[in-house]
Chain A
Amino acid sequence: MNDAFASLFEWWGLIPFYSVGLGIHLQGYDKFCKNFNGTPWYTYIGVIMILSTLFTFALFYYIIRNPRFNRAWNWWIMALILFIINFSISFSIPYNDISSKNICPKLNVRIEDCLGFAFSVSIWSVIILMILTITPLRKGSINCRNTTFWKP
């Protein structure tokens, strides 16, 4: 799972938003620069991202029961909130590790890397929300079954 999320957030190596060093840290490389016995942050952050996206989907389509909150721009508000939540979580975790020196110093990770990683995770959360939206899963919704990110 760690590898799967690593590939996802690193865009299969195609679009590097953050350094290889941060990627190694998130895969669980310990602060003593010896092996991968550290926290597997890719998995944790990935699971949080998936769960928060599913919750946002459920919240918009099934939990909020307001017929006025069914427009495309309402969907984008939810996506923005999801983006911010994921950004905050995925930024704060590596940033805390840097601040508390809980990271292998040889990896040479900078704050810009944290921002890039947070951006990558947040973007994926929105993409997954979009994918969920275009599936028939929303069709059971009372008020938003026809709401997508482009209409109405």
Chain B
Amino acid sequence: MARLFVFAIGGTGTRVLKSLTMLLAAGVKPRTGNFEIVPIIIDPHKASDAMKKTVQLMESYQKIASEAKCKNGFFGTTISTLDNIIASENKLADNFIFDLQEISNTKFRDYIDFNQLDEANQALADVLFSGTSINKRHEKISLLDVEMDIGFVGNPNIGSVVLNQFKDSDEFREFANNFNNGDRIFIVSSIFGGTGAAGFPTILKNIRGAKNIKNITGQGYLENAPIGAITVLPYFNLEADDNSPIQRAEFISKTRSALYYYRDNVSGNNSVNALYYIGDDYSGKPYKNDPGDGGQPNDAHFIELAAALSIIDFLEIPDNDLSCNNGKALRPIYKEFSIRSNADPIHFSDLQEYVDKKIRLRLSQLALFKKFVDEQLIHSAGKTAWSTDIPEINNAFLESSFFRNTLIGFLNSYGIWLKELSNNKRAFSPINMEGALDTFITDKKLTTGFLGAKKISFSIINEQLNKDSKGINFASSQEKFLELFFETTEKILREKYGF
């Protein structure tokens, strides 16, 4: 199976990855072909809560997918760590995170050995890294004294130096050695901060220039690899705080500067086969400005979901349209994202038809599955025909670690993610998990129809489950549980909700 290597850079990269994980869990797939997704998070801010949660989420996803042996449907796309796919004995950390060396508790000054430089080079460094920032203790400091363990906090000039270690890392070597013909690469980054803005062109340059790097194989594939990228423009509002290194007012100027750079070094030289732009100038409730150890505690945002959809879109582009010669895309593609109206909150019906079709059914299926698990499963397990067919979904299954910890944990995260999307500004509220079965799809209020033909209840879902499980052999309870609910929720949503 071909692979898609997703480099998620910085905080935005991590958040987009979270949305991608939710989409894949719901069964959203590219129309054509199956890809194994290999996410690689590049973020010096290792203590970031958002990163920890995303990694945890992907680990749960992996566990669920492997135990249930999902082939299609929920969790139907394989997500692997770089370590999972390497053939060599050089094992890496099995945790999705690119291990940036010498970052923890290191000032940029020490990273570049500033004190060892001769006078001329010190002067050059002073010029290149002039300016000030604010550290974790809210003290004004020189850029050279930035502590990098909370990221590059809006300083791409620092990020571009540190992230250049990418090409010399074990991760890059293993990535390059395991990159095969037919595989693709996608880079997710924001443009208005430090890590993403610097990381995207740096990583792109190193991949396209892999032929100059020694001790790796597959350079040829990398040089002409199909590469897609999304660069996320400013999309959220932030509290003004003079004591923070992150300032909303600088988002636009930083974006403009980076775009100028990209014009010559990314889009201008056709390094990327497909480049997606996304952003939102909607000025909603500002996020708390907290770049500290835990990182920006931002809720999930619709833009991150839309950005994750660009990854799916990229996978749907035919190989022929992604061809390269000497590391240059022959037919570069540039795309933007739009919705039908300037709505807030956004519902499914506000999405463009293609996007609506792509996600409405699948996200609703996972939501309906979660609703059933939360509100009905305890009453049905071990009692209904679908649950008592072998292999049984009984109390032992409900007590298993797979169900109680992993699956429930993931579904709870899905519920929280939906809630965050709906509470954010601009809000995306297509699903209300607290709603009744006939109203939980917010733009679709069900009528009971003639003689109650369209009535929906858990009893009707149970009956559909009974029908769908009849005569089907499943290898395990886990497989049965996920496959059956995928099939049944799809039928219920199509028949009763007219999807």
Check if A and B associate.
yes
Interface 9-mer from A12-20, A43-51, A62-70, A107-115 = A62-70
Q: CB distance A66 to B388 under 8 Å?
A: no
Within 8 A of A (CB), among B370-398: 382-385, 388-389
B288 located at the interface, meaning its Cβ lies under 8 Å from any Cβ of chain A in the complex: no
Contact partner of A152 (CB less than 8 A), chosen from B382, B462, B466, B470, is: B382
Q: CB distance B382 to A67 under 8 Å?
A: no
Complex Cα gap A143–B385 (Å): 5
Q: CB distance B385 to A146 under 8 Å?
A: yes
A145 located at the interface, meaning its Cβ lies under 8 Å from any Cβ of chain B in the complex: yes
Chain B residues positioned under 8 Å from A147 (CB to CB) = 385
Chain A residues positioned under 8 Å from B400 (CB to CB) = none
A1 located at the interface, meaning its Cβ lies under 8 Å from any Cβ of chain B in the complex: no
B467 located at the interface, meaning its Cβ lies under 8 Å from any Cβ of chain A in the complex: yes
Complex Cα gap A67–B388 (Å): 12
Contact partner of A141 (CB less than 8 A), chosen from B383, B385, B459, B462, is: B385
Q: Interface size class for chain B?
A: 10 to 19
Chain A residues positioned under 8 Å from B463 (CB to CB) = 65-67, 142-143
Complex Cα gap A151–B383 (Å): 8
Complex Cα gap A147–B383 (Å): 9
**Residue of A at shortest CB range from B388?**
A146
Q: Provided the pairs A66-B459, A142-B463, A146-B389 are in contact, do residues A71 and B470 lie with their beta carbons within 8 angstroms? A: no
Per-residue B-contact encoding for A111-152, CB less than 8 Å = 1, 0 else: 000000000000000000000000000000111111100011
Complex Cα gap A129–B382 (Å): 23
Per-residue A-contact encoding for B87-128, CB less than 8 Å = 1, 0 else: 000000000000000000000000000000000000000000
Contact partner of B383 (CB less than 8 A), chosen from A65, A66, A71, A145, is: A71
Chain B residues positioned under 8 Å from A143 (CB to CB) = 384-385, 462-463, 466
**Residue of A at shortest CB range from B462?**
A67
**Residue of A at shortest CB range from B379?**
A68
Q: CB distance A152 to B383 under 8 Å?
A: yes
Q: How far is the CB of B185 from chain A (nearest CB, A)?
A: 48
Q: Which residue, of B459, B466, B467, has the highest number of chain A Cβ atoms within 10 A?
A: B466
Contact partner of B459 (CB less than 8 A), chosen from A67, A71, A142, A151, is: A67
Chain B residues positioned under 8 Å from A68 (CB to CB) = 459, 462
Chain A residues positioned under 8 Å from B467 (CB to CB) = 142
Q: How far is the CB of B68 from chain A (nearest CB, A)?
A: 22
Q: CB distance B385 to A144 under 8 Å?
A: yes
Chain B residues positioned under 8 Å from A67 (CB to CB) = 384-385, 459, 462-463, 466
**Residue of B at shortest CB range from A145?**
B385
Chain A residues positioned under 8 Å from B470 (CB to CB) = 142, 145
Chain A residues positioned under 8 Å from B385 (CB to CB) = 67, 70, 141-147
Judged by DSSP, the binding face of B is: helix
Complex Cα gap A146–B462 (Å): 14
Chain B residues positioned under 8 Å from A71 (CB to CB) = 383
Q: Which residue, of A67, A142, A145, A151, has the highest number of chain B Cβ atoms within 10 A?
A: A67
Complex Cα gap A73–B230 (Å): 59
Q: Which residue, of B385, B389, B462, B467, has the highest number of chain A Cβ atoms within 10 A?
A: B385
Complex Cα gap A67–B381 (Å): 12
Per-residue B-contact encoding for A76-103, CB less than 8 Å = 1, 0 else: 0000000000000000000000000000
**Residue of B at shortest CB range from A66?**
B459
Chain A residues positioned under 8 Å from B382 (CB to CB) = 152
Complex Cα gap A89–B384 (Å): 34
Complex Cα gap A146–B388 (Å): 7
Q: How far is the CB of B491 from chain A (nearest CB, A)?
A: 14
Chain B residues positioned under 8 Å from A70 (CB to CB) = 383-385
Within 8 A of A (CB), among B437-472: 459, 462-463, 466-467, 470
Q: How far is the CB of A128 from chain B (nearest CB, A)?
A: 23
Chain A residues positioned under 8 Å from B383 (CB to CB) = 70-71, 152
Q: How far is the CB of B451 from chain A (nearest CB, A)?
A: 15
**Residue of A at shortest CB range from B460?**
A67
Complex Cα gap A144–B383 (Å): 10
Q: How far is the CB of B194 from chain A (nearest CB, A)?
A: 56
Chain A residues positioned under 8 Å from B389 (CB to CB) = 145-146
Q: How far is the CB of B297 from chain A (nearest CB, A)?
A: 44
Per-residue A-contact encoding for B34-68, CB less than 8 Å = 1, 0 else: 00000000000000000000000000000000000
Chain A residues positioned under 8 Å from B384 (CB to CB) = 67, 70, 143
Q: How far is the CB of A104 from chain B (nearest CB, A)?
A: 52
**Residue of B at shortest CB range from A67?**
B462
Q: Which residue, of A71, A141, A147, A152, has the highest number of chain B Cβ atoms within 10 A?
A: A152
**Residue of B at shortest CB range from A69?**
B459
**Residue of A at shortest CB range from B382?**
A152
Chain B residues positioned under 8 Å from A141 (CB to CB) = 385
Complex Cα gap A146–B387 (Å): 9
Q: How far is the CB of B378 from chain A (nearest CB, A)?
A: 14
Complex Cα gap A143–B463 (Å): 7
Complex Cα gap A84–B118 (Å): 105
**Residue of A at shortest CB range from B461?**
A67
Q: Add 10 more A-B contacts to A67-B466, A142-B463, A145-B466 (CB < 8 A).
A: A65-B463, A66-B463, A67-B385, A71-B383, A141-B385, A142-B470, A143-B384, A145-B470, A146-B388, A146-B389
7 A-B contact pairs sorted by A residue (CB < 8 Å): A70-B383, A70-B384, A70-B385, A141-B385, A142-B463, A143-B463, A152-B388
> Closest 3 CB pairs between A and B?
A67-B462, A146-B388, A67-B463
